[in-house]
Amino acid sequence: MKTAIADANLDRNPAGRTSGEPVLVLREVDKSFGAQHVLDGINLTVTRGETLAILGRSGTGKSVLLKIIIGLECMDSGSICIQGVEIAGIALNEMNRLRVKMGFLFQNAALYDSLTVEQNVAFPLERHTKMTASERSARVMELLSSVGMENDLKKMPSDISGGMQKRVGLARALALKPEILLLDEPTAGLDPITSGEIDDLVLKLQKDHALTSIVVTHDLQSAKTIADSVALLDKGKVVMEGSFQELAESHNDLVREFFKRDS
Amino acid sequence: MGAIMEATSNSSGTMINRSLEWFGDLGSFSWKVICAAFTKPFELREIIRQLDEIGSKSFPLVALAGTAIGTVLALESRSSLAHFGAKSMLPSAIIYAIVHEMGPIVTGLVVAGRVGAGIGAELGSMKVTEQIDAIEASAVNPYKLLVFTRVLACIVVLPLLTLVTDFCGVFAGWVAVTLSDPISFHRFLEKGLSGVSFSDFLAPTFRTCAFGLIIGVVACFQGMRTKGGTEGVGRSATNSVVLASLFVILADVILVKLILIFWP
């Protein structure tokens, strides 16, 4: 598996993976919680096969943005088009049709604690496919093998480490072969070695499944490894967007401070 | 003095606002559950799991509660009835009191305590750990999977558990009576049921469906709106029990009145 991950790193060619066709288009997205203005006129475009990393300090609205995209929160104003479908005011069944095309990895994995690892990954398959039990088992095994968790099928989420939970969460997010992957702090709370493994895994999966991804993180190393483009959020606004290199060389004070502090 | 009155007026205004907001949110929540109830899939497997979780696992507790009230009723009523020379009425008094009032309300309160706390804590914990968001993000309706299944199980299970409480109460009452004045169980039932028709059992037993609805909806509502980590989970569990018990008692008063009007 290590070799496969290394190969994925070597073969990575962001320019070749993206097609230029916009998959996710956010225009003037606003969101407030009471008096607190969390998102203030966010404009972002993610093209097919692209991985966009959203950086920013804690509390700048990064996770809220992901939750708005998947419909767990409502935006106050603005527009979000996912594969050409506007989600503002969309009916629940229409939103669910879009959700099936999206995978979401939560910050703390959010595994169902009453279900085993195997049942967690099988959950979306049971709901949205007509697979037989044996087909489902085979698919679950394939997914768990791809994240290196094939030997922990019967374990409960409370019996595995944080890094392992993230892996299972990733397998669950990929269960329905999504076209869009939303990752909320995939390396948060993990040690540097496990963080590196998760980054390599995400990279490999993006390559294998030709996914369009948005990764929310404040881990610069992670953003550098897995993202084609990076957007820096501060006080609910996009301060700068570009390649990692462009941001690293920026003269913008806020961007420089963010990069300097991390280095 | 003026400041105290102003503070009291402000605090009662806030309390009224909060209560109205709570009922408004409960209405909106109930509407989502009703909408979810009539859409496919019907989550049969989860309903069966909840019937077992709420029904089978409450069985020992309601049986014990029924036994206790039957025994106490027999011991307490015997001396009172003897005082008025109506000791022969003891079987009727026990059976009538248990079937008409004690059985349904005790079952409602016992289930509100056990199941209300369980549902409030379980859903509250799922809420704060984003498991409910994860269900929604998987394009599954949590109001259907988590709420409707639990509410339906509560509605179905409460009358059945009430029958268990009634039977245990009557049986324990007979044991308590027969220890001092030996009487066969058959004779005890015959005397107790002499002035009671089958329809007398129906309304009191089936009014516990309303208790089940209240317990299920209130506990799920409190669980689904949990905020604030483990402290919030504890608060949800406590509020579920307190509010469910309170509404069960209020509903009991209203339903008894309605039953007396429609089935005098």
Determine, for residues A99 and B141 on separate chains, whether the beta-carbon distance falls below 8 Å.
Answer: no
Q: A–B: how many Cβ contacts below 8 A?
A: 51
Q: Where are the domains of chain B?
A: 48-262
Give me A231's structure tokens.
């957007």
Set of chain B residues whose Cβ sits within 8 Å of the Cβ of A70:
137
- Does the CB of B141 have a partner CB in chain A at under 8 Å? yes
Nearest to B131 among A67, A100, A112 (CB): A112
**What does the block give as tokens for B234?**
């504890």
For chain B, give percent helix, strand, coil, nearest 5. Answer: 85, 0, 15
pLDDT digits (tens, 9 = 90+) for A1-25: 333 333 333 333 343 455 678 899 9
Which residue on chain B is closest to A70 by alpha carbon? B137
Residues B122-156 have pLDDT tens digits of 999 999 999 999 999 999 999 999 999 999 999 99
Question: B227 CB near a chain A CB, below 8 Å?
Answer: no
- Identify the pLDDT of residue B121: 95
Test B139 with A107 for CB contact under 8 angstroms.
Answer: no
pLDDT confidence of residue A28: 93
Calpha distance A27→A38 (Å, rounded): 15
Is residue A168 within 8 Å of A201, Cβ to Cβ? no
Q: How far is B153 from chain A (nearest CA, A)?
A: 19
Q: Cβ–Cβ of B138/A123 closer than 8 Å?
A: yes
From the list A92, A104, A128, the residue facing B137 with the nearest CB is: A104
pTM of the entire predicted model: 0.85
Q: What is the 3-state secondary structure (H, E, C) of chain A?
A: CHHHHHHHHHHCCHHHHCCCCEEEEEEEEEEEECCEEEEEEEEEEEECCCEEEEEECCCCCHHHHHHHHCCCCCCCEEEEEECCEECCCCCHHHHHHHHCCEEEECCCCCCCCCCCHHHHHHHHHHHHCCCCHHHHHHHHHHHHHHCCCCCCCCCCHHHCCHHHHHHHHHHHHHCCCCCEEEEECCCCCCCHHHHHHHHHHHHHHHHHHCCEEEEECCCHHHHHHHCCEEEEEECCEEEEEECHHHHHCCCCHHHHHHHHHHC
Query: pLDDT of B13-48, one tens digit each?
Result: 788 888 899 999 999 999 999 998 888 888 899 999
| Average pLDDT estimate for B75-93 | 83
pLDDT the model gives residue B262: 79
In angstroms, what separates the C-alpha of A226 from chain B's closest C-alpha? 23
User: In the beta sheet, which residues pair with residue A212?
Assistant: A180
Cross-chain Cβ contact A92/B141 below 8 Å: yes
Q: Is the pLDDT of residue A157 over 90?
A: yes
- Vertex B196, ends B162 and B66: CA angle to 5°? 25
Cα–Cα dist B187/B177, whole Å: 12
User: Which element (helix H / strand E) includes B39?
Assistant: none
CA distance A171 to chain B (A): 13
pLDDT tens-digit series, residues B162-213: 999 999 999 999 999 998 888 889 988 888 888 777 777 788 888 899 999 9
Whether residue B131 and residue A113 make contact (CB cut-off 8 A), yes or no, is: yes
Query: In which band, very low, low, confident or very high, does the pLDDT at A193 lie, cut at 50, 70 and 90?
Result: confident
Report the pLDDT value the prediction gives residue B192, as an integer from 0 to 100.
83
Q: How far is B138 from chain A (nearest CA, A)?
A: 6
Domains along chain A?
22-101+178-263 (3.40.50.300), 113-177 (no CATH)
ipTM of the complex: 0.85
pLDDT of residue A148: 85
Which of B40, B43, B127, B130 to probe by mutation at the A interface, max A CB count within 10 Å? Answer: B130
Q: Is the pLDDT of residue B10 over 80?
A: no
pLDDT, position A15: 39
